[in-house]
Structure 1
């Protein structure tokens, strides 16, 4: 099948299939999978123009509601965190879009930049699985211990793997919300973060996400989890919601930029290709969000970190070897 906007020729079943697998792997960590689909589009499909960024954002818009709806239904949405992330990333993604068009037009330079971002992200995720990092977690360590005990008790009592995982009562409850501090409870443990710090972080992440075409969730999710020692079970939904909102703004921005005629490079998204990826991602994010309750937090980080680090090293080496 030929896609005239991107110039890609591919079987129509391949994009949704790849997106489904990627989304299942990444959604438990609060990531839509766009950061893995972008290198697939660039390296495998040969879609290397700046239009790949808004196409990736189209994927986010179609795919994320599946996982987001599941997290809301299961009560694992930290809404104050969601609003702060959205407020910070929205202006950042516009700035990032401008930089992508005017500064990172060269695909080689763009690939090197992507590699550096992924190198940081993968290293952070893997570091969080080490004994030294886990020893500093406080309440987060208590959640991990409860998860392990609950799984062992469920399996010994019912001999069913499906009965193991987070219990129905493990939901997010906001206890305090102000401009200085936000606190919430999850599974009997209290967690808190500074809205101002998260806002500034989200602003920077929004710029990076606008350049990379990922909405920013792939970076802010692991950073918030590690920096504030928040359980990934409570951050995943907020990160997806932030990515969804910024992706909408990002697509509108690129459409306006293309309609204005102020840029000499293609920035209009390939709607059909993005929608095909999104259809697979819609099912994948739902399954991934459903799967999260059965996965230990360390496994989520380790799997995602390994994938990200592999791509990061590959991209950086490819750039330096030329």
Structure 2
């Protein structure tokens, strides 16, 4: 075996063994500093650089989540910022959504052009969300907002038939169970198609619409992404697919991505306090926006 050039049997990808973990490390290093999972940028790399466009690329992307996410979840649990009730509501909604996403991806988005358009739409949303946070009126509103108080933990969660209430620090928060489950179901469909689990999509809705503190949302969304990624990998691995359609993940390729991603998340968490968030979000948002525009040009070829 040539260490500098290797052909992955499952996916047919030919590349150097060091490239997947290096790319995943660099992506996760940057995205982890702004609280975004790197899986959404890893997929464009696989599509455009590795030329991996079969439905199994979504499953391989989910394998990345299985390896890269646990270290982040562990950190939130240790710091007392894991809101388990929110996590399980998100899981309950996203799991059936991932099943629908699998069906859509395998039976209706086999065409690489259509899938690239879908990827472009997801990336467009994520880029606009990042860039919107840099708007002058949003920044002015945050100047007087305090950071997380030392010793703040999520606790005293009470579950009513249609609402969950909890405390974080000295403040009390609540959210509607049906509304959160419906949102999670919709996000699960997108995550199942794309291969990202959905945490990067649902977290901003939890903050902006439900008014929940980002300090507790991040851990719950990340843990839910990990659990739904397990379900997604199982669906892509075990469910029947149309003849000739590859759905099973490339475990070796996904594992190499995951190793690099786990290291990148760890280093990113360490460096986060030393890097200006505004500059990072601007750079990341601009890169994602360019990628979105690139993939959305596929619409011209489909017309």
With normalisation by structure 1, the TM-score equals: 0.83
Unaligned runs of 5+ in 1: 148-165
Note the alpha carbon deviations across 1:210-259, whole angstroms, 9 max, x for none.
Answer: 111111112112222222233332211111111101110011111112xx
Q: Separation in 1 of the partners of 2:223 and 2:86?
A: 10
User: Which residue of structure 2 aligns with residue 43 of structure 1?
Assistant: 48
1:146 match: secondary structure: coil
Q: Separation in 2 of the partners of 1:75 and 1:233?
A: 10
Q: Separation in 1 of the partners of 2:284 and 2:217?
A: 15
Coordinate RMSD, CA, aligned: 2.6
What aligned pairs does 1:23-172 form with structure 2 within 5 A after superposition? 23-133=28-138, 141=142, 145-147=145-147, 168-172=150-154
Q: Separation in 2 of the partners of 1:295 and 1:256?
A: 43
What aligned pairs does 1:172-211 form with structure 2 within 5 A after superposition? 172-211=154-193
Q: Separation in 2 of the partners of 1:14 and 1:84?
A: 37
1:247 to 216, 224, 229: 229
Once structures 1 and 2 are overlaid, which stretch shifts more, 111-120 or 28-37?
A: 28-37
Per the alignment, do residues 171 and 133 of structure 1 end up closer, same or farther by CA in structure 2, a change over 3 Å counting? Answer: same
Structure 1 residue 27 displacement after superposition: 2.9
Per the alignment, do residues 238 and 29 of structure 1 end up closer, same or farther by CA in structure 2, a change over 3 Å counting? Answer: farther
Contact conserved, 1:27 with 1:236, CA < 8 A, in 2?
no
Would you say 1:271 and 2:276 are equivalent positions? Answer: no
Unaligned runs of 5+ in 2: 1-5
Contact conserved, 2:241 with 2:247, CA < 8 A, in 1?
no
User: Which residue of structure 1 aligns with residue 8 of structure 2?
Assistant: 3
2:166 match: secondary structure: strand
1:145 match: secondary structure: coil
Q: Separation in 1 of the partners of 2:19 and 2:55?
A: 22
Per the alignment, do residues 129 and 261 of structure 1 end up closer, same or farther by CA in structure 2, a change over 3 Å counting? Answer: closer
With normalisation by structure 2, the TM-score equals: 0.87
Per the alignment, do residues 13 and 113 of structure 1 end up closer, same or farther by CA in structure 2, a change over 3 Å counting? Answer: same
User: Which residue of structure 2 aligns with residue 157 of structure 1?
Assistant: none
Aligned length: 297
1:226 to 208, 214, 224: 208
